[in-house]
Amino acid sequence: MSKVEGVIFDWAGTTVDFGCFAPVNVFIDIFKQADIDVMMEEARAPMGMLKIDHIRAMLSMPRISKLWEERFGMPFTEQDVENLYGEFEPALMASLSEYTDPIPEVVETVQTLRNQGLKIGSTTGYTNTMMEVVVPHALKKGYGPDCYFTPDDTNSFGRPYPYMIYRNMEKLNLSASWKVVKVGDTVSDIQEGVNAGVWTVGVVIGSSEMGLSLDEYQSLSAAEREAVILQTEHSFMQSGADFTIKSMGELPQLIEEINRLIAEGKRPGANSI
């Protein structure tokens, strides 16, 4: 019987690093060092992309682009992108191991999926060098996928290109895109899944899209939580997600629902269900 064969997870903000804070703080810091004050929402907007692409996207934002031109007397250049990235990578590497705690429900959910015979893949906006820090630290804390691919493995074509998903499918011997589920916490995660033709799921609590630390989230009132959850869900669905889940514990039940849809002949497609 045709059913889901594998799940491909993002890393920061999805399976580890609640709120996806490791890269965000560094993006803000490197711009501050250039006398450019960027806002948290600007630093988060391109999240999930290859990190040098993320910096380029931030510099292309009208407000930041204008500030840069006022500060330096000319528009940013590709050399500026490379210079900022040259500061970004060592700064991120210095703190990355501190941001590898699995997000609540992830370890248990992955074990449940494996017990059901599913294969576990992953994609990321981190480079291979960064993942050499993240992967062993996460594994010590209980989380490890069967494989992972970075933009380094796809000629630097990271999200929203679908190639990292395809590499996972090849490695894990997944037979069709419509038998694959992609789970992520950013708009670029959703776009990656849509472009790959897989079932695409946005996870809300702990996501970069929500942008709250665990303490910040837990301190919200019930009404405030509901509002921020709805806002995040809306963003994912607007970006083409097939589904959203509040937290990872909901994923096994959702996969049962997707299996029912597959049995009915349904296929992934932007909000087509």
Boundary-marking domain end, from 78, 98, 118: 98
Q: What is the pLDDT of residues 226-240, one digit of tens each?
A: 999 999 999 999 999
What's the confidence (pLDDT) of residue 42? Answer: 97
For 105-135, how does the pLDDT look when each residue is reduced to its tens digit (9 = 90+)?
A: 999 999 999 999 999 999 999 999 999 999 9
Catalytic hit among 3, 32, 37, 51? 51
DSSP string, 216-251: HHHTS-HHHHHHHHHHHHHHHHHTT-SEEESSGGGH
| 78 vs 163: CA distance, rounded Å | 24
Q: Is 185 annotated as a binding residue?
A: yes
Q: Is cis: bond before 136, omega within 30 of 0?
A: no
Question: Does the annotation mark 10 as catalytic?
Answer: yes
Q: Is residue 273 part of a domain?
A: no
pLDDT tier for residue 93 given thresholds of 50, 70 and 90: very high
CB 34 within 8 A of CB 53: no
53 lies in some domain = yes
The pLDDT, as a whole number, for residue 1 is: 63
**Closest to 192 in 3D by CA, of 124, 134, 252:** 124
Averaged pLDDT, 256-260: 97
What residue numbers bound the domain in which 86 lies? Answer: 21-98
In a domain, 109, yes or no: yes
Beta bridge partners of 121: 8
- 37 lies in some domain: yes
Residue 138, annotated as binding a ligand: no
Per-residue model confidence as pLDDT tens digits over 46-89: 999 999 999 999 999 999 999 999 999 999 999 999 999 999 99
For residues 112 and 215, membership in a common domain is answered with: yes
* pLDDT digit string, tens, across residues 15-45: 999 999 999 999 999 999 999 999 999 999 9
270 is in an annotated binding site: no
54, 81, 98 - which closes a domain: 98
State the Cα–Cα distance between residues 249 and 111, nearest whole angstrom.
Answer: 11
Handedness of CA 39, 45, 48, 54 (dihedral sign): negative
Q: Are residues 108 and 153 in the same domain?
A: yes
Q: Is 80 a catalytic residue?
A: no
